[in-house]
Amino acid sequence: MEALGVIVEYNPFHNGHLYHLQQSKNLTNPDVVIAVMSGQFLQRGEPALVSKWERTKMALLNGIDIVVELPYAFATQKAEVFATGAVSILSELRVDSFCFGSEQGNIEDFNRTVQLMGEKSDPYHSSVQKYIKEGNSYPKASSLAFSETFQNENVIDLTQPNNILGFHYVKAVLELGSPIQPFTIGRTTAGYHDEQLYPSNIASATAIRKHLFETNREIQHVQDYVPAPTFSVLQQIKSFHRWEDYYSLLKYKILCSTPEQLRTFYEVEEGIEYRLQECMKKSKTFQEFMTMLKTKRYTWTRLQRMCTHILTNTTKDEMKRVTEKKEYSYVRLLGMSKAGQHYLREIKKDITIPIISNVASFSDDGLALDKKATIAYSIPLSEPERSAFIHKEFSQPPIRFDEELRKFV
């Protein structure tokens, strides 16, 4: 069986995702599509709008055959680590190809850029250091160094968020020595950060979430921008998750910790622990807190990721133990179609790591972070929903979808 991989957040699954999925299938003609999907917290350091289980349902209903979880230790990281984690899992699951969306839209440009970057690695990294010393954030410094190093070369535009991710995907494939064939598809209409709902039926996930929050979840207005199955899942959801719901917890965590304790959390560096406490004392909302905290040196996204790690109580030591390993110790299965189930049976003999269906009986440093993330994610819910939500993390078997009958079984 031919397998295609995609790396996704589906926050929530919208028409742009469906377009990408259909184009990817047209390009590679796979028997099954495997999605590596982030769990409760996402790459920009935010809680997912709805839980990983709801997003798994959306994925299965929209044509994904297997959904596996990108562990917290990779899902909430800068592009490089995120990409390495995601591509490694696809590699473990023996996909033949994988396809990502990008602003550039041409895989040869990515291959050439990665190759050139390999050749000019030293001058590039010196240049990055120079720009960081000048007080720029890491992404800004990388972008400036990139322009400087490759000013006369035909390279991709690495100021575009999806190009950056794509670059790291292609680089990860090369570094892992993986036989996976990468493809890319140009993104249409809506940019990653766009906050508008366009008149066409494609809008960014950011715009869709913004609309849901601002209108106090009048979900009928997003109906035009999401596939019907997504809409039916959204209709059944009682509450959407956003940072403001976690502000009390974050305030508690930041102000009830000593600076020394804050420093143990992943990404809390360079004395920012004092600034975290000062800004938290003065703020009354998450937005206000972040606006005070923001400096030229730190991107908003990096600060949000830092807050995510504080919220989930994730220390530098814990993160190191997980990301230092060169190999995954498990893949967590969230859902599968009948075709997906068939594929997994087929590859079982070829793969060495366990595919986890029931986490209660499996102990692992990486999985421990996912469990904590689910607990932190659940706290703003009311009882008895919260207890049920936590229980689900430890008891829910993978969601099974019968694609012929179009229903969960």
By C-beta, is 185 or 322 nearer to its own copies? Answer: 322
- In degrees and rounded to multiples of 5, residue 3 shows phi and psi of -120, 135
Consult the annotation and say whether 162 binds a ligand: yes
> In the bound complex, what is the minimum distance in angstroms from residue 101's beta carbon to its own copies?
34
In angstroms, the Cα distances linking 205 to 13, 14, 325 are: 8, 7, 33
By C-beta, is 278 or 402 nearer to its own copies? Answer: 278
By C-beta, is 228 or 255 nearer to its own copies? Answer: 255
Consult the annotation and say whether 29 binds a ligand: no
By C-beta, is 111 or 261 nearer to its own copies? Answer: 261
> In the bound complex, what is the minimum distance in angstroms from residue 63's beta carbon to its own copies?
35
By C-beta, is 256 or 405 nearer to its own copies? Answer: 256
Consult the annotation and say whether 330 binds a ligand: no
Consult the annotation and say whether 55 binds a ligand: no
Consult the annotation and say whether 16 binds a ligand: yes
Consult the annotation and say whether 62 binds a ligand: no
Consult the annotation and say whether 201 binds a ligand: no
By C-beta, is 162 or 312 nearer to its own copies? Answer: 312
- Which of helix, strand or coil describes residue 352? coil
> In the bound complex, what is the minimum distance in angstroms from residue 383's beta carbon to its own copies?
4
> In the bound complex, what is the minimum distance in angstroms from residue 256's beta carbon to its own copies?
4
* Residue 165 burial (CB count, 10 A): 21
Beta bridge partners of 157: none
**Torsion angle of the four alpha carbons 352, 345, 34, 402, in this order, in degrees rounded to the nearest 10:** -150
Cβ contacts of 147 within 8 Å, gap of 6 or more: none
> In the bound complex, what is the minimum distance in angstroms from residue 51's beta carbon to its own copies?
16
Consult the annotation and say whether 309 binds a ligand: no
> In the bound complex, what is the minimum distance in angstroms from residue 213's beta carbon to its own copies?
18
Q: Is 10 left (phi over 0), alpha (psi -120 to 50) or beta?
A: left
> In the bound complex, what is the minimum distance in angstroms from residue 366's beta carbon to its own copies?
14
Cβ contacts of 23 within 8 Å, gap of 6 or more: 99, 185
Cβ contacts of 87 within 8 Å, gap of 6 or more: 7, 98, 169, 172, 173, 176, 178, 180
- In degrees and rounded to multiples of 5, residue 37 shows phi and psi of -120, 135
> In the bound complex, what is the minimum distance in angstroms from residue 30's beta carbon to its own copies?
39
> In the bound complex, what is the minimum distance in angstroms from residue 382's beta carbon to its own copies?
9
Q: Distance between alpha carbon 316 and the CA centroid of its chain, in Å? A: 20
By C-beta, is 211 or 372 nearer to its own copies? Answer: 372
**Torsion angle of the four alpha carbons 285, 316, 295, 136, in this order, in degrees rounded to the nearest 10:** -160
**C-alpha closest to that of 347 among 52, 92, 5:** 92
Binding region for its own copies (CB under 8 A)? 248-249, 251-252, 255-258, 261, 281-285, 312-313, 368, 372, 375-376, 379, 383-384, 386-387, 390-391
Consult the annotation and say whether 101 binds a ligand: yes
Give dist(CA 235, CA 39) in Å, integer: 21
Consult the annotation and say whether 163 binds a ligand: no
Give dist(CA 209, CA 380) in Å, integer: 18
By C-beta, is 296 or 392 nearer to its own copies? Answer: 392
Consult the annotation and say whether 106 binds a ligand: no
Cβ contacts of 217 within 8 Å, gap of 6 or more: 240
Contact present, 69 and 330 (Cβ < 8 Å): no
The DSSP secondary structure of 360-407, one letter per residue, reads GG---HHHHHHHHHHHHHHTTSPTTHHHHHHHHHHHPPPEEEETTTTE
By C-beta, is 91 or 257 nearer to its own copies? Answer: 257
Residues making up the annotated binding site for ATP are 7-20, 101, 162, 187
Residues making up the annotated binding site are 7-20, 101, 162, 187
